[in-house]
Amino acid sequence: MVRLTRYRHIQPALGGAMNTVISNRTTRIAVPVCAALAFCVSAAVQAQPADSLTLFESIEQGAGNDQNQASGPRNPAVVAGGGPQFSLIGTSRFGDRYRVSVRDSSGEVITIDAGAGGSAAIPGHPGFAVTQVAARHVLLQHPGSAPCFNDRDQGVTCEGDNTARLALTTAEPVAPPPEPERRRDRRAEDRAADASDENAEERPENPFAAALRAARERGEPDAAASRAEEQRFRPRRIDPADVPEGYRLIRTPFGDRVVPR
């Protein structure tokens, strides 16, 4: 730090000499400071690379790039040289209004309200529009940049370069469910019963069954049947001749009774 001291009360005779001394001191201090500054500046210049560093570079956009961006596919469902862009899921009708459900190439399901005329544009897919709705098929209009592709598996047939017929496809028949275990066991039991009937002649005969069969052949009453007949309910019946005077007879399914007149 340079400190300069000024002398106020100096004689005029010594003024010129003092000014010369101060000037010499200032010159001796300023020369080293300037040299140091020059050395720092030169070092910074040498450290900087030959190519100047810039944060942003200018992007050259010509007419060709603009044209490629403008002509590029804006619709992700359009695949150049690929399969169909849409397949039909179903159609419905509410009064005089139609609704169509389609699936695009990415798998997204889109529902279209076709209105009373059965025609409407597909939202999110510019250039595609449903022009006709029927029970099991619809007609789809394609833009000029997306031609139609036939695909029988998805029910898509082309009726022109830019017109496709989307029809409902028929799925493969469902395989019958496996036979329940209980039914298999029942069939096994039936087969076992049939086999037992075939082998019945080989089995010994029950002696009690033979005795009962012999009694029936002789005309003898069955004791068990006789006991059941005796225990069976029998309604009481009254002969009208046995009704005393002043009473009347009342018959019911459960028996007869007499009551006063």
Residue 187: pLDDT above 50? yes
- 139 within a domain of the structure (yes/no): yes
Q: Within 10 A of 148 (CB to CB), how many other CB atoms are there?
A: 20
User: What is the rounded average pLDDT of the residues 1-8?
Assistant: 44
- 213 within a domain of the structure (yes/no): no
pLDDT in the model for residue 76: 38
Chosen domain end from 149, 167, 185: 167
Rounded to whole angstroms, how far apart are CA atoms 109 and 98?
17
DSSP H or E segment with residue 213 = helix 207-218
- Domain span at residue 251 reads 233-261
pLDDT in the model for residue 247: 92
User: What is the rounded average pLDDT of the residues 150-174?
Assistant: 84
Question: Do residues 249 and 258 make contact, with C-beta atoms less than 8 angstroms apart?
Answer: yes
Question: Do residues 150 and 156 make contact, with C-beta atoms less than 8 angstroms apart?
Answer: yes
pLDDT tens, residue by residue, 208-254 = 777 777 777 877 777 777 777 778 878 888 998 889 989 999 999 88
Residue 207: pLDDT above 80? no
Question: Do residues 76 and 121 make contact, with C-beta atoms less than 8 angstroms apart?
Answer: no
pLDDT in the model for residue 26: 52
Query: In which band, very low, low, confident or very high, does the pLDDT at 22 lie, cut at 50, 70 and 90?
Result: very low
- 60 within a domain of the structure (yes/no): no
- Which of 25-39, 117-131, 159-173 is predicted least confidently? 25-39
Chosen domain end from 148, 167, 186: 167
- 212 within a domain of the structure (yes/no): no
User: Percent of the chain scored above 70 by pLDDT?
Assistant: 61
- 46 within a domain of the structure (yes/no): no
Rounded to whole angstroms, how far apart are CA atoms 84 and 109?
15
User: What is the rounded average pLDDT of the residues 29-56?
Assistant: 56
If one compares 124 and 10, the residue with the highest pLDDT of the two is 124
Q: Which residues pair with 252 in a beta bridge?
A: 255
**157 — phi, psi (to 5°)?**
-130, 140
Geometric angle at alpha carbon 155, from 92 and 88, rounded to 5°: 30
DSSP H or E segment with residue 252 = strand 247-252
In the chain, the number of structural domains is: 2
**DSSP string across 103-172:** EETTS-EEEEEEETTT-EEPTTSTT-EEEEE-SSEEEEEPPTTS----BTTTTEEESSSSEEEEEPPPPP
- 51 within a domain of the structure (yes/no): no
User: What is the rounded average pLDDT of the residues 163-181?
Assistant: 79
pLDDT in the model for residue 13: 43
pTM: 0.36
User: Percent of the chain scored above 90 by pLDDT?
Assistant: 5
Please give the single-letter amino acid code of residue 211.
Answer: A
- 193 within a domain of the structure (yes/no): no
Average predicted confidence (pLDDT) for the chain? 72
- 128 within a domain of the structure (yes/no): yes
Q: How far is CA 78 from CA 104, 121, 252, in A?
A: 9, 16, 91
Rounded to whole angstroms, how far apart are CA atoms 149 and 151?
6
